[in-house]
Chain A
Amino acid sequence: MLFNIAIKNLFGAKLRTSLNVFVTSISFFLVIFVSGMYDGMREYAKNITIETEVAGGTYWHREYDSMDPRTFENSHSIIPNQIKKLIDQKYAFEVLVSQASIYPNGRIMPVVMKGITPDQTIINMPTNVLNQHNDITIPVLIGSGMAKNANLKIGDSFTIRWLDADRTYDADEGTIVHIMETENFKLDLGHIWIPISKAQSMLAMKDQATYVTYDKDLEVIKDIEDWIHHDVDYMIRDMEAMIKADEPGAQVMYSILLALAAMGIFNAQVLSIFGRGKEIGTLMALGMTRSRVVTLFTLEGGLNALLSSVITLIMFGPVLFYFGREGIPLPMDYTEMGMLVAKRLIPVYSFSLIVSTTILISIIVLIVSYIPSRKITKMKPTEALRGRAAV
């Protein structure tokens, strides 16, 4: 009985229902959209690291520590056979890491020089450009951030100085052959990329490498001598730690969004219910008990939330889908600030985000329907009949 009356009230009051549903739908949309952007930002940082750097995982020379440049000098050796097989099958590629200095435009800049297999296709990096310049002494690939910092452009040449395996300083001329646009600042800032064969020859480290990155979905090799295996989880542990450290912040932001949405819903719902004081009084005069009146209005709130989630899906679903696919262009490049933030941010609407938002907003709607109707039914019916309900 109450359900039928609630349905009738909901669809009968077109303007009131439209306004309530619109406010609730906007709240649904905003909470999901903004939280999705935030989640997308965090998810992006992880994905971009995997796509451009980590792939399926890596095998490191035992001395190598990517965060400590002092280890670079000693972290190289002949690649273990089992790993070498992967490279030969093109399921992996090797990288030789060393410290170097470059002298662009008369300035000195310390850099990390990395020799990489040019024809690798395992990570998203245009290394193939290093293959096309046999006439150049040392073809160099850099990122746009590095190019900007060093004021370099394609075709510019500069001196590179390095320390080889015999502990002898050597120098030669490098030429920029390509400037890549990458959103992973760890490949860009302070890095120069050269062909692996050239690096091995320059450093007198024939067939040696510092680490090997392998393709996704490959089994881990056990027999890797004294090299160390690091899986994706290890490689993105700093990202995960950052995300975890950021979780309270994300929860605070979600709570603020939810509170703002709740205020909007509360305003619309409370005004609509208090505006119906006379109606509540009439229902009580006709013999509806207080508890039934409260149940009716709470039920209406529940139906309102249900209708709002459907309307959100219809009205804002395409908008969320569009941004989820095309992304949102950001006004500035955050990579220079050492942040892995995409130039186009793709929001991620996780199942848990949608479900938790729907449940929480529905609870809010139920509460803000229950409280005012309960308050009105606590009044004398004679007062309610006069429409004297006050917020």
Chain B
Amino acid sequence: METKNVINIKNLVKRFPVGKDYFTALQNVNLKLTEGEFIGLVGPSGSGKTTLLNIIGGLDSATEGSVSVLGNSMDNTSHNERAIIRRKYMGFIFQSYNLLPVYSVFENVELPLILNNIEKSEREKKVSQAIEWVGLSDKKNSKSADMSGGECQRTAIARAIVHEPALLLADEPTANLDAKNSHNIMKILSKLNSEISTSFVFATHDEKIMGYLRRIIHLEDGKIINDEKISKLESL
């Protein structure tokens, strides 16, 4: 069976202005990701992994090169076009969860579906299912202030997958969690990856979760120095 190209990056360069000079965050990055992959962008702080993730997600734009996500060119697209691509085809998980504090778990998870104009009855069904996937059915009316870090991150995962995106981008999803919660989160994400066709891209330098990744792209000083495919899952 032919696998679909989810991400296609060619000769990507990203520079940030620093005073009168520029800081090059990414240089000559080439990357392809196919449907259903579970990859990690790994490297020390400042290696460019979050920048790469942001460019893939359309939150930032490339200085040079071309980026195509799910067949949509991200070059020369407007903010609105990128927002629509994110809304329809992508899910985000952030290091600090980024839950809306005034919303309950249910309402936070429901938000991407509201933005996609999904009918209320279908929304309720999908949100309940997503909350059940992450094991928070008993907390659906709780707010983030009343939950642990692990529960908040599980809520963020439910929010990221509720509209069944083609691509899920996670920026240091376990950085604020202890070992037990980190493993729980990764188990949930691995299980989801095997059940749905969503492709996962992690930006991480957390050693604890390396074992879950099926492809590890090592970044250093804005360059890909190694692209490693893992044949066997270690922790599942």
How far, in whole Å, are A291 and B80 apart by their CA atoms in the complex? 9
Residues of chain A contacted by B115 (CB below 8 angstroms): 1, 286-288
* Cβ A282 vs Cβ B83 within 8 A: no
Known A1-B114, A385-B94; judge A288-B107 contact (CB<8 A): no
Tell me if B235 counts as interface (CB < 8 A to partner A): no
* Cβ A289 vs Cβ B102 within 8 A: no
Tell me if A61 counts as interface (CB < 8 A to partner B): no
Interface residues on B, range: 20 to 34
Tell me if B60 counts as interface (CB < 8 A to partner A): yes
Tell me if B215 counts as interface (CB < 8 A to partner A): no
* Cβ B59 vs Cβ A381 within 8 A: yes
Render B64-103 as a binary contact track against A, CB cut-off 8 A, 1 for contact. 0000000000000001100111111010101000101111
Q: How far is the CB of B16 from chain A (nearest CB, A)?
A: 11
How far, in whole Å, are A12 and B110 apart by their CA atoms in the complex? 15
Tell me if B43 counts as interface (CB < 8 A to partner A): no
Residues of chain B contacted by A4 (CB below 8 angstroms): 114
Tell me if B3 counts as interface (CB < 8 A to partner A): no
Q: How far is the CB of A359 from chain B (nearest CB, A)?
A: 29
Q: How far is the CB of B32 from chain A (nearest CB, A)?
A: 24
* Least CB separation from B98: chain A residue: A282
Q: How far is the CB of A285 from chain B (nearest CB, A)?
A: 5
How far, in whole Å, are A281 and B100 apart by their CA atoms in the complex? 11
Render A136-151 as a binary contact track against B, CB cut-off 8 A, 1 for contact. 0000000000000000
Contact pick for A8, options B90, B107, B117, CB 8 Å: B107
In the complex, the number of residue pairs spanning A and B with C-beta atoms less than 8 Å apart equals 66
How far, in whole Å, are A282 and B117 apart by their CA atoms in the complex? 18
Residues of chain A contacted by B107 (CB below 8 angstroms): 8
Tell me if B112 counts as interface (CB < 8 A to partner A): yes
Known A8-B103, A278-B98; judge A285-B59 contact (CB<8 A): yes
Tell me if A5 counts as interface (CB < 8 A to partner B): yes
Residues of chain A contacted by B59 (CB below 8 angstroms): 284-285, 380-382, 385
Known A9-B102, A385-B59; judge A286-B54 contact (CB<8 A): no
Tell me if A231 counts as interface (CB < 8 A to partner B): no
How far, in whole Å, are A107 and B88 apart by their CA atoms in the complex? 97
Tell me if A279 counts as interface (CB < 8 A to partner B): yes
Tell me if B188 counts as interface (CB < 8 A to partner A): no
Chain A residues with a Cβ closer than 8 Å to the other chain, count: 23
* Least CB separation from A290: chain B residue: B79
How far, in whole Å, are A5 and B107 apart by their CA atoms in the complex? 10
* Least CB separation from A286: chain B residue: B112
Tell me if A13 counts as interface (CB < 8 A to partner B): yes
* Cβ A287 vs Cβ B80 within 8 A: no
Tell me if B111 counts as interface (CB < 8 A to partner A): yes
* Cβ B100 vs Cβ A285 within 8 A: no
Residues of chain A contacted by B84 (CB below 8 angstroms): 287, 289
* Cβ B102 vs Cβ A288 within 8 A: no
How far, in whole Å, are A4 and B115 apart by their CA atoms in the complex? 11
Q: How far is the CB of A189 from chain B (nearest CB, A)?
A: 64
* Cβ A287 vs Cβ B102 within 8 A: no
Residues of chain B contacted by A13 (CB below 8 angstroms): 101-102
Known A1-B114, A286-B112, A287-B115; judge A382-B80 contact (CB<8 A): no
Residues of B86-140 at the interface with A, using a CB-CB cut-off of 8 Å, are 86-88, 90, 92, 94, 98, 100-103, 107, 111-112, 114-117
Residues of chain A contacted by B80 (CB below 8 angstroms): 289-291
Residues of chain A contacted by B116 (CB below 8 angstroms): 287
Question: Chain B interface (Cβ within 8 Å of chain A)?
Answer: 54, 57, 59-60, 79-80, 83-88, 90, 92, 94, 98, 100-103, 107, 111-112, 114-117, 159
In the assembled complex, 20 residue pairs joining A and B whose CB atoms fall closer than 8 Å, in A order, are: A9-B102, A12-B102, A13-B101, A282-B100, A284-B59, A285-B92, A285-B94, A286-B92, A287-B85, A287-B86, A287-B87, A287-B115, A287-B116, A289-B84, A291-B80, A380-B59, A381-B59, A381-B60, A385-B59, A385-B94
20 additional A-B pairs beyond A282-B98, A286-B112, A287-B86, beta carbons within 8 Å, are A4-B114, A5-B114, A8-B107, A9-B102, A13-B102, A281-B98, A284-B83, A285-B92, A285-B98, A286-B86, A286-B111, A287-B85, A287-B87, A287-B90, A288-B87, A288-B115, A289-B83, A290-B80, A291-B80, A382-B59
Closest 9 CB pairs of A and B: A287-B87, A12-B102, A287-B86, A282-B98, A381-B59, A13-B102, A289-B83, A289-B80, A285-B92
